[in-house]
Amino acid sequence: MYDLTGRVALVTGAGQGVGAGIARALAAQGAAVAVNDLEAARADATVAALVATGAAAVAAPFDVTDRDAVRAGVAAAEAALRGPVDILVNNAGVPVGMTMSPFRTFGPADWSRYVDLNLYGSAHCMQAVLDGMCGRGWGRIVQISSGAGHTGTRLGISIYGASKGGVEGLVRHVAQEVARDGVTVNTLALGLMSPQPDGPDGPDGPDEPDPALTSLARQVPVGRLGRPDDVGAAVVYLVSDEAAWMTGQTIDLNGGATT
Ligand SMILES: NC(=O)c1ccc[n+]([C@@H]2O[C@H](COP(=O)([O-])OP(=O)(O)OC[C@H]3O[C@@H](n4cnc5c(N)ncnc54)[C@H](O)[C@@H]3O)[C@@H](O)[C@H]2O)c1
């Protein structure tokens, strides 16, 4: 099950964190992976780790908010991997230097970069690959969102949450429009992820060395924060042949934090 041999995947923001975990999971199932990131060095590092496992992978460094760069970057990745993108994972969603601030003091000068990245950046990537997917009669798009896209918090992330809510709405409409073309489009809305990239007790130390994070982890019903590999496993299912009947959904992946 979940064999992705012969599929070409593009994962945005995959130079670190959740996106790198998604790239690892897709490659482990046999997909060739184009690793996008704004930071070329990060994309290169993820590619090197994938290639070391025997996977096919290329770096695709571009800014997803730049529509022309997205088109050119997708074309270059498709040429390098000798095949069109069958699987798109829109993971880039944390703007560089993201800050937390109550809405009353969060001025409009900072709003657009959240919406540009999460709504328009995802839309640019979808439009770069959707014609090809529909023409071939098969495609999979997974949008990475956050519980903050549909649940209010007091964390000072209102515009970030609104940008995630916006793209969740886009996914529902696009999924309906392309459902008859063999293309599924779903959203995974994540709960709080561990900043430790290698999971519990890996070489970078104990799972949650920060007391504040330990406290947050205890509030999660399964007793820990999320890990990139948790997300990778869910993405593998959503992009598989087996998930053909799953589309247009927003799925919370959060250790049971909301049910
Ligand atoms: N970390 C969490 O607790 C958490 C919780 C809920 C949802 N999410 C979502 O998960 C996704 C990944 O989060 P993360 O914590 O791994 O983020 P991260 O900041 O660790 O990594 C994201 C990567 O995206 C890249 N990036 C940023 N802007 C880009 C752009 N314009 N074009 C291309 N690449 C760009 C960055 O260079 C970075 O390498 C995001 O969509 C985020 O909103 C994260």
Per residue in 189-213, pLDDT (tens digit) is 999 999 866 554 454 555 666 888 8
pTM above 0.75, yes or no: yes
Dist. CA 135–CA 181, nearest whole Å: 8
Residue 213 confidence (pLDDT)? 85
Mean pLDDT in residue range 215-227: 94
Check if 160 is active-site: yes
| DSSP 8-state code for residue 192 | P
Distance 145 CA to ligand 1 centre (A): 10
Residue 210 confidence (pLDDT)? 80
Distance 95 CA to ligand 1 centre (A): 7
Given a cut of 70, whether residue 18 has pLDDT beyond it is yes
Least confident of 3-17, 62-76, 202-216: 202-216
User: In the predicted model, what is the mean pLDDT of the chain?
Assistant: 95
Residue 198 confidence (pLDDT)? 53
Dist. CA 217–CA 154, nearest whole Å: 17
- Give the β-pairing of 183-190 and 250-253: parallel
CB of 12 sitting under 6 A from ligand 1? yes
The distance of Cα 250 from the centroid of its chain, to the nearest Å, equals: 13
| DSSP 8-state code for residue 64 | T
Mean pLDDT in residue range 59-69: 98
Q: Is residue 178 within 8 Å of 185, Cβ to Cβ? A: yes
Substitution site in 16, 18, 115 for ligand 1 pocket (most atoms within 8 Å of beta carbon):
18
One-letter amino acid at 35 equals V
Residue 211 confidence (pLDDT)? 82
Residue 197 confidence (pLDDT)? 60
Residue of 251, 252, 243 whose CA lies nearest to 222 = 252
Least confident of 48-52, 103-107, 133-137, 213-217: 213-217
Residue 206 confidence (pLDDT)? 54
